[in-house]
Structure formats: structure tokens, C-alpha cells
Chain A
Amino acid sequence: MEKQLYLSSSPHIHSGETTDKVMRGVIYALLPACAVSIYFFGWPALMVLLLCTGACMATEALCRKGMGRPLSLGDGSAALTGILLALNLPPSSPWWLALIGSVVAIGIGKQVYGGLGSNPFNPALVARVVLLISFPVQMTTWTAPAPLGSGIDALTTATPLGEMKTAVMLTGRLPLPAGGEYLEYFTGNMAGSLGEVSALALLLGAGYLFWRRILTWHIPAAYLGSVVLLSGVFWLVDPSRYPSPLFHLCTGGLMLGAFFMATDMVTSPVTGKGMVIFGLGCGIITVLVRLFGGYPEGVSFAILLMNAATPLIDRFSRPSKFGTVPQKG
């Protein structure tokens, strides 16, 4: 017998872009950063990446079963959270740190709120901050990059931001620049978490996301723009105490944060105006924490704080509906 016709409400065509395609797109965009991290930090980096991804997916599956909801691994968001979490961890992270982080990220950061789309905070950042506060030693032990095949052993060292914070706190002055450092910061030859070191790799990935139209300009432009402006003001006032905007752009988790963490769709505003406000807020808080706060890096806290403000931002950044412009006749 012939199959019956489908009837539905309009529209009857679809763009073909689905949630899992979006998530996969972001995963592809992160591959350059993952590759660079393995190059600079070796097999431990690969271990952290695989462990986080696997543990996040396993936690999601278990949570969904426990909640009696259908499995949702197909949408790719758990895997993406795993990769982002791994890129936020130091290369020397022990396996149990990665595991606890994954469980916290998915279990507390996401599933407890009802799953994809319902969480108010960025899950990877929730995990990062929980780990930072619970295990400060492991979360602030950084290794110097030891490119694969170079024969250099991994040595603990401080990140550029860490060095800056310590120097300013102790002496009130920045450490003297050694020249040529910015290129190294940009390509990734510096200490830091797995994903933050290479601004170049991250920019490549971001470029792909812009091309795919998964990213729009609002949040990255507002975030980076406000960082450059605010840090620029301080730098102009006293360059011996405050680093230049270029330093801020290349060091720490700013690139990772501006393109991949703050832009997490679920936890950021839906309107263009709202996204810009969100980015501005992130930038301001990041710079203030970096320059005056107790922690050397402010990106995680800035994004989480702005996540909390997102519902309010959404409410007050509604576009004016068509037909409210005063008429000229």
C-alpha cells in the first residue's frame, strides 16, 4: 500500500545545519590547537585530551540513564566539552584531575540543569574553576614546552602571566622583556594550559568557524576589543607596570576564551546587542583581574560571571520590533 502523505506546518524546507553539525564544526576548529598542544607538550597532552573527552561522554551517558532521559551523545556536545576542558588544563595534569574535572563539567555543569541548552554556566569553565580551587597545586604547575623530537625534558616553569603577576606584586615593575618573545607567545612556545598557548592555532580554528558561520563577530570583537582598549589605557599611563595590549592578547587563555569559551551559545545572550555587552563585560573583568586581582588569569572568572548576567542581558537587549520606528510619513 502507498505510504501516506506527510502534513506539517510551514516551512517545509530546512537549512540542513543541525546541532550535531555545529558541535562537530567546533571540534574540527579545535584540532589545530590540539595538534599544537601535543607537539609542544608531548604524550601527556594526548592523554589528557583523550581522557577528558572519554570521561565527559561516559558521564553524560550515565547521567542520562540515571535521569531516565534518552541518550544524547549523538549531538556531540559532551565530546566538545571534553576537548575544551582538556585544553583548559595544565599539560602535567594527573589522570585523576582530568577525570574529576570531566565528571564535574558534565554532571554538575550540564546534566543537573537538564542537559544541553539548559545550563546557565559554561561546563568546561565550571570544572576548571572547581579544580583550580580544590587542587591549586596541580592546576598551577606548568611545564615549559618541549617540542616532540627535540630531546628536551619537561621542566616546570611559570606562565608569562604568572611571571608578570609575581614581578608586579614583588617589585611593582614588569620583568624586563627579552625581545622576540611575542612571536613565541603567538605560535605557542610558552608555558600555559594545553589550549591557550598557541594563538596562531586558535585563530586558524576561529577562521574556520567564521567561514562556517558558526561564529559571529559580536562576542570575539567586543571581548578582544575591550581588552585591548582597557589594557591599552593602563599601559599608556605606566608601561613599566602594566603590560602592553599585545602581551595580553598573546598570553593566557584570552584567545581560547574569546573565540571558544565565551562564544558558547547556550550560556551567552541570543541577541546581537546582548552579545556585544557580554563581550565587553568579559573583557573588562579579565583585564581587572589580570592587573589587580589575586589570580594571574581572569578569563575563566570573567566568562562565568558574565554567564550569570546573561539572562539579564537578554532581557534588556531585546531588539525593537518591526514597526516601532517613529514614522516620517
Chain B
Amino acid sequence: MIEAVLSIGGIGLLAAITLGVAARKFAVEVDPRELALLETLSGANCGACGYPGCSAYARAVAEGKAEPSLCTPGGQSTLEKIAHIMGVAAVGTSPQVAVVLCQGDNARAQAKYRYLGAIDCVAAQRIADGPKLCPGGCLGLGTCARVCPFGAIEMTAEGLAVISREKCTGCRKCVGACPRQVIAMTPLDATVHVLCNSHDKGAAVRKYCQVGCIACMICKKTVPEAYVIEDFLAKVVYDHYQESGAAVEKCPTRCIRDFVEGYPEGSRFAPPVVPVKRQGAV
């Protein structure tokens, strides 16, 4: 009995001493600021900052190699914390969220052909430029939803991608993943958007989509400084987003939408409150 106690106790003591010595001797010198910085970051490893993960960004900032404002998911609060730790001014860019510029789901936009194959937008786009007649519209096969690290994108039952303004952190992964470039980055508080991405002439758009922009210019006539028509497609001038709401009812195809009144049809997200309360990071 006594031998058992002594032998087990002895082994435990030996292990403890060994570990303690090793911890001292092989300790890695870490800048304490780096650890503090890591605490402020969300830990999502989304890559929006351009570094491979939050710990890499924390190290880069601690070494003075990176700007403190690169963590877009963290937003203003993270920027201020980072600036405080590093002792610099909190100068950053204004927060942005992603918006899918399309409302043409299966019920409202016509298909070019019946697609068979991998349920992936990039894959479908490679076959005769995608199963939609509209060259710029959302294909609805979910590639963006799969790459979003924050679960901010839903696919409606009729095949349209919709992005929640509360959950989106502005990391831009969806923008790069979409083969049709139908997702754009917009200022956080701008809730009025022209939800169309087709540069075809109005008559052509009419043929294949019920809610596409036909470049009738009524929005521009209503609020000249808030809209611009480029290549048969209207766009909100986001510097003047506050005035853009007046054109929403005037649009004949209802392609301009104010998200405060609700997301595109089929979405299960609750309409956002302005100013938008962001979830996501710290």
C-alpha cells in the first residue's frame, strides 16, 4: 500500500517539476499587446483584414505592420479598442454591408434552360453562362451562403440570396465568391437600393424579369442627386442615400426597395432598424 502511494506520488511530483521547468525554459516571448489585441478580435478568422486569421492580424498590428482599422467585422468598437491598446488615433473607414442587387427569383425571372448538376453558382455559370436569361441576376444556388462565415445569407424558397444587414460584418467573402458579381458593398445605414444587376436595355429586361430595372429614369427625375443611370441600369448614389427613399414608390417595376419596409419577398429576416444594430463581432 505504502509503496503504491509513494511511487504514484513520486511520479506525479516528478512530472510537475519537469513541466514547471519546461514552461519556464521553453517559454515563447510574446508581446503582451498581441495577446490583448487578440482578445479584442472576434475570432471568426474570416480573412477580411487580408491576414490568415485573427492571431496573424493581431501579431501584425502589434509589430506595427498593419493598420488598426482592417477588422471590418469588428467595426468601430474593435477599432477603438485596438487604437487604445496601440496608443494611436482611431481613424477608420465607415462600416459597410453586402447587398444582393437582385430580386429575380424563380417566380419572377425566366430561366434559360433547366440546369442539372452540382448545386453551385460557379458550376452553373460555366454552362452556357448560367441557367438564367438575365446575364447579371442571382442564380440562387447558394454559393455565397456557403462561404459566409457569419451565417448572414439565406436562400429563399424561390432561389434568391438575401443578406441580413444585422448579421453581415462586411468581410466581403460573398462578393468574391459570386460568379455574377451581383453582390455589392454598401454603407451600413443606407437601406434603399436598386435591386438589379442587368445592363440590358429595358425592353430586353422586361422580357425575362418582372422586377428588373428598365432604365426609365423616373428615379433620377424624382431625386436627381441620389440616382445615376449607367449603361441602362440605375444605381443609388450612396453619398446621398438619405434622400433616395422618395423614388421607391415611383419605380414602375418595383426594383428599388427600402429594406426598412422589408427584405425581398421570401426572406425570413425581420426588417432592419436604422441605425442598424450590428451583431457579429465584439
**A contact set with B: CB distance below 8 Å:** 3-9
Q: Which residues of B contact A7 (CB under 8 A)?
A: 113-116, 127-128, 131
Closest chain B CB from A54 CB (angstroms): 33
Known contacts A4-B111, A4-B113, A4-B114; A9 and B123 CB within 8 A of each other: yes
Q: Does B117 contact A (CB under 8 A)?
A: yes
When the two chains form their complex, are residues B114 and A5 in contact, meaning their CB atoms are under 8 A apart? yes
Told that A4-B114, A7-B113, A9-B118 touch, could you supply 16 new A-B pairs with CB distance under 8 A?
Answer: A3-B114, A4-B112, A4-B113, A6-B113, A6-B114, A6-B116, A7-B116, A7-B128, A7-B131, A8-B115, A8-B116, A8-B117, A8-B127, A9-B123, A9-B126, A9-B127
Q: Which residues of A contact B112 (CB under 8 A)?
A: 4
Q: Which residues of A contact B117 (CB under 8 A)?
A: 8-9
CA distance A5 to B114 in the complex (A): 6
CA distance A7 to B112 in the complex (A): 10
When the two chains form their complex, are residues B113 and A5 in contact, meaning their CB atoms are under 8 A apart? yes
Q: Which residues of A contact B111 (CB under 8 A)?
A: 4
CA distance A45 to B128 in the complex (A): 58
Secondary structure at the A interface, as helix, strand, loop or mixed, is loop
**B contact set with A: CB distance below 8 Å:** 111-118, 123, 126-128, 131
Q: Which residues of B contact A6 (CB under 8 A)?
A: 113-116
Among the interface residues A3, A5, A9, which one has the most CB atoms of the partner chain B within 10 A? A9
Q: Which residues of A contact B127 (CB under 8 A)?
A: 7-9
3 nearest A-B pairs in the assembled complex, by CB-CB distance? A8-B116, A7-B113, A8-B117
Among the interface residues B112, B114, B126, B131, which one has the most CB atoms of the partner chain A within 10 A? B114
CA distance A8 to B124 in the complex (A): 8
CA distance A8 to B126 in the complex (A): 10
19 A–B pairs (Cβ distance < 8 Å), ordered by A: A4-B111, A5-B113, A5-B114, A6-B113, A6-B114, A6-B116, A7-B113, A7-B116, A7-B127, A7-B128, A7-B131, A8-B115, A8-B116, A8-B117, A9-B117, A9-B118, A9-B123, A9-B126, A9-B127
Q: Which residues of B contact A5 (CB under 8 A)?
A: 113-114
Q: Which residues of A contact B126 (CB under 8 A)?
A: 9
CA distance A6 to B113 in the complex (A): 6
Closest chain A CB from B51 CB (angstroms): 30
CA distance A5 to B113 in the complex (A): 6
Closest chain A CB from B137 CB (angstroms): 17
Q: Which residues of B contact A4 (CB under 8 A)?
A: 111-114
CA distance A199 to B115 in the complex (A): 49
Q: Which residues of B contact A3 (CB under 8 A)?
A: 114
Closest chain B CB from A12 CB (angstroms): 9
CA distance A7 to B128 in the complex (A): 8
Closest chain B CB from A11 CB (angstroms): 11
**Closest residue on chain A to residue B123 by CB atoms:** A9
Q: Which residues of A contact B118 (CB under 8 A)?
A: 9
Closest chain B CB from A5 CB (angstroms): 5
Closest chain A CB from B279 CB (angstroms): 22
Closest chain A CB from B131 CB (angstroms): 7
**Closest residue on chain B to residue A6 by CB atoms:** B114
CA distance A223 to B5 in the complex (A): 47
**Closest residue on chain B to residue A8 by CB atoms:** B116
Q: Which residues of A contact B128 (CB under 8 A)?
A: 7
CA distance A6 to B114 in the complex (A): 5
**Closest residue on chain A to residue B118 by CB atoms:** A9
**Closest residue on chain B to residue A5 by CB atoms:** B113
CA distance A133 to B116 in the complex (A): 49
CA distance A6 to B128 in the complex (A): 11
Closest chain A CB from B57 CB (angstroms): 32
Closest chain B CB from A293 CB (angstroms): 29
Closest chain B CB from A18 CB (angstroms): 16
**Closest residue on chain B to residue A12 by CB atoms:** B116
CA distance A284 to B127 in the complex (A): 51
CA distance A9 to B131 in the complex (A): 13
CA distance A5 to B111 in the complex (A): 10
**Closest residue on chain B to residue A7 by CB atoms:** B113
Closest chain A CB from B167 CB (angstroms): 20
Closest chain B CB from A252 CB (angstroms): 40
Closest chain A CB from B91 CB (angstroms): 45
**Closest residue on chain A to residue B111 by CB atoms:** A4
Closest chain B CB from A9 CB (angstroms): 5
Closest chain B CB from A35 CB (angstroms): 42
Closest chain B CB from A124 CB (angstroms): 32
Q: Which residues of B contact A9 (CB under 8 A)?
A: 117-118, 123, 126-127
**Closest residue on chain A to residue B126 by CB atoms:** A9
CA distance A4 to B106 in the complex (A): 14
CA distance A4 to B114 in the complex (A): 6
CA distance A8 to B115 in the complex (A): 6
